[in-house]
Amino acid sequence: MDIQVVGVVGAGVMGIGVAQNLAQTGHQVILVDIADRILEKAKQEIAQNIRFQGFFNKSEKIENPSEILSRIKFTTDYQFLESAEFIIENTTEKWDIKKEVYAQLDAICPQETIFAANTSAIPITRIASVTERSPKVIGIHFMNPVPIKSMVEIISGYHTSQETIETVKKVLTQMGKEGILVNDSPGFVSNRVLMLTINEAVFLLQDRVASASDVDRIFKGCFGHKMGPLETADLIGLDTILFSIEVLYESFNDSKYRPCPLLKKMVDAGLYGRKSGQGFYAYK
């Protein structure tokens, strides 16, 4: 059975990308966030992203933004998620927030609905524990920007069923993506490595070993990476980086995950990276 109606919870950096991708691959999307102004901004960003895609990708026929947007219902009312066959959750990387979100989803959605958590570091088994449907809870760690990244990490929680894994693979294929299946662990594979790398790069900056652009140039020029760790941090969002490294620190009780004070200071100062217009670099 093809999944047609997908609930996307959280309309920030990732929720916007997931909703756009789903709508562009013909799905009906119910996009939920906590405030109308956030949803209005999401609508504008999706329209702009589609226009950019058309501009940079002239060989491919990109559908009109208004047709794609017509497949997305923007709402603050969770009750609409009752009709979703599949949920992709993309709320803030804070356990206190996600815990409440899953309790709400569990009460509203039919028992057969699968919950896919798009989290950076929170263990899927912990998320499943606050629901009554552990076999139907799984992780999909999407990469940013979602519509143009074709690979994701799929995370199997302790109780995730094979049937759930198969359905998720099907949904991902429908979205034009491929998944690499890994076992549950805080940060999974990608972010257990990436968050440490970014955090250490911020320490290098704090210790005045090199400028931000020189740190990034070393990774690009010497290792052939497309982006350096600090540019990547700006793309992800410094708040999300801090929350993720805090999850790793708390989960492993290992001091190697202690967040760099400069990272904390930048988040306190509202320097979140691209989404706020200023991070390690200035945007706009």
Q: How far is the CB of 39 from ligand NAD (least distance, A)?
A: 9
Is 159 known to be catalytic?
A: no
Please report whether residue 29 would count as binding ligand NAD according to CB under 6 A: no
Integer Cα distance of 187 and 28 in angstroms: 30
Burial of 11 (0-12, 13-18, 19+ CB in 10 A): buried
Of 2 and 171, which CB lies nearer to ligand NAD in the complex structure? 171
Integer Cα distance of 250 and 268 in angstroms: 20
Is 191 known to be catalytic?
A: yes
Q: How many residues bind ligand NAD (CB under 6 A)?
A: 27
Please report whether residue 8 would count as binding ligand NAD according to CB under 6 A: no
Q: Active-site residue among 45, 153, 190, 251?
A: 153
Angle (nearest 5°) at CA 119 between 20 and 168: 65
Is 27 known to be catalytic?
A: no
- Binding mask 238-277 vs ligand NAD (x if CB under 6 A, - otherwise)? --x---x---------------------------------
Is 225 known to be catalytic?
A: no
Please report whether residue 32 would count as binding ligand NAD according to CB under 6 A: yes
User: Cβ distance 137 to 157 under 8 Å?
Assistant: yes
Integer Cα distance of 235 and 256 in angstroms: 23
Only segment of 27-35, 166-174, 252-260, 276-284 that touches ligand NAD (CB under 6 A): 27-35
Q: How far is the CB of 208 from ligand NAD (least distance, A)?
A: 27
Please report whether residue 236 would count as binding ligand NAD according to CB under 6 A: yes
Of 103 and 209, which CB lies nearer to ligand NAD in the complex structure? 103
Whole-Å CA distances, 73 to 31, 36, 115, 153: 6, 12, 19, 27
Integer Cα distance of 271 and 20 in angstroms: 26
Q: Active-site residue among 90, 120, 134, 244?
A: 120
Burial of 153 (0-12, 13-18, 19+ CB in 10 A): middle
Please report whether residue 15 would count as binding ligand NAD according to CB under 6 A: yes
Reference 159, options 127, 200, 187, 186; nearest CA is: 127
Q: How far is CA 257 from the centre of its chain?
A: 21
Amino acid at 45: E
Reference 14, options 117, 165, 111; nearest CA is: 117
Among 86, 142, 188, 257, binds ligand NAD (CB under 6 A): 142
Shortest-Cβ-distance residue relative to ligand NAD: 12
- Binding mask 168-207 vs ligand NAD (x if CB under 6 A, - otherwise)? ----------------------------------------
Would you tell me which residues interact with ligand NAD (CB under 6 A)? 9-15, 32-34, 38, 90-93, 97, 101, 118-120, 141-142, 144, 236-237, 240, 244
Catalytic residues: 120, 141, 153, 191
